[in-house]
Structure 1
Amino acid sequence: MQKIDKIAEMSAAAKAIRESGKRIAFLPTLGALHAGHANLIRLARLQADVVVVSAFVNPLQFGPSEDFLKYPRTAVSDALLAEREGADILFTPAQEEMFPRGFSTHVLEEVISKPLCSITRPVLFRGVLTCWLKLFNIVQPHVVMIGEKDPQQIAVVRKAIGDLLLPVEVVTGAVVRDVDGLAVSARNNYLTPTQREEALAVYGALKRAKEMVESGVKSADRIVAEVTHIMSAKRRLRVIYISVVDRNTMDALREIVPGNCLMAISYWVDEVKLTDNVLL
């Protein structure tokens, strides 16, 4: 596996790959690579000839009170995982080169990004799109890999790609869970054993929501009420949002349309913010 940390070198490598007629799959990450990323790298190998993974803690997507400085930086283990899973290039640009002093251009999607996560993280998707568009210009991918752990991000990125006519295909990978059912996330490392045990109630609530739909329940309000009830029994959990939404537009739904909607949850476990979702 090749390791690149300069934009010019990555751009030159991407240009050479494309000129050789090979297809590039790209996985943009914040680093702290885990089993979810490993799954996406394996999927990427099926999509393209060359797999590029970026590990960059993007400052633009963190608000002033969020965990940018605390976010795990695990360069050594990132490289080991990326190489083990078959990545061809690990791109680790420096912040001062990605966003030098005086950088003042941003990309904003103004409809799909508005609800859910943006209510408490207003800079999140502007930061993601700005960073990813720059990475797309550097890496020149044919396909971008995104995990279904972040369904709103998938919808926002797809909309931006379509609106801006970017020649990039989006391929998604299923939510990866630990053996106890908790959705894999870098922020899980913040949890104490007690906090993790309480967070597992969210997975149980999502399974209950799916069971209700499979038994014929169509009312989104009824399912949200049941999930809220389950989570409220755990004193460390605080709900940010629980919503049944259209998986493509993120519009809130009153009636379940099986296969076309999902339940999305964002919540605090004490001071740790996590998200999860399930297709209904």
Structure 2
Amino acid sequence: MTLDPVIAQILAIGGPDPDYDTLTPEQAREAMNLRVAPLLTAAPPFADVTELSCPGLGGPIALRLLRPDTPGPHPVVLFLHGGGWVVCDLDTHQPLAAALARGSGAAVLMVDYRLAPEHPFPAAIDDCSAALDWLRAEGGAHGLDTSRIVVAGDSAGGNLAAVLARRARDGGDPPLAGQYLIYPVIDLPDPQQYHSYSDNDRYGLSTAAMAWYWSNYAGTAAPGPDAIPMLATDLTGLAPALVQTAQYDVLRDEGEAYAVRLAAAGVPVSVARHPGMIHGFLSLADMVPGAAAALVQGCTWLRTRLA
């Protein structure tokens, strides 16, 4: 299938990639905020939003709880936003989190984890782990059913969700109901191993961008599975997974390769490559029918896992 025509128009408006050799994190954040501003303006309001916090290694972690308009206690989607671990925040991703809450009937708890390079690896995953611990211990006081939790995230948030699912298994915690990985970052950018990097380098998210994000996030840290999920040697016993990828995304092949590894380890996994789509497409569900279908798929899967 060819590139979705609406998405093609959006890409044309976006213009060329910046010079990543000179781009600062502050410039990247400003550019991202400008890019998502129209989506935030158009997003319908969500009625039940509560600002919370939990303790973390670097200080209090801001949390945002979105509860659907249905009787509780609600199952929970612990949602970890994308943005290459460098950009984006609770505000940029609230429309997507709200759509998941509406469509799944679950509460969505968003985590404002610390961003790189000011707070490089492992700050982000440590904050997400702290948020999951808090949710298990304190969620009941906020009308949440902590026996039914799915970890979810898009892009870099999908990376964090995959790592968190493995950490939860290794920590002996009660089993998660699932892991929802939305065009996740699973491995380092390698065009030789993952042809989607060369095939899709001109569709919004580029190989150069991913290298820049990784350099800011990982810094000089030694490679390991807490940063790079593909390096995990044992995937058995992990929570059931839904992995959604986009046809025209540089991250497509590594996400699908991880789904193959999960299945080989005996993990129940569904994988869906969405035709005509690019990285970040799920946030375009109000404009692009293919994205709307993917959102329905994700919410249906969440309802099943959290039933």
TM-score by length of 2: 0.33
Asked which structure has the greater CA Rg, the reply is 1
TM-score by length of 1: 0.36
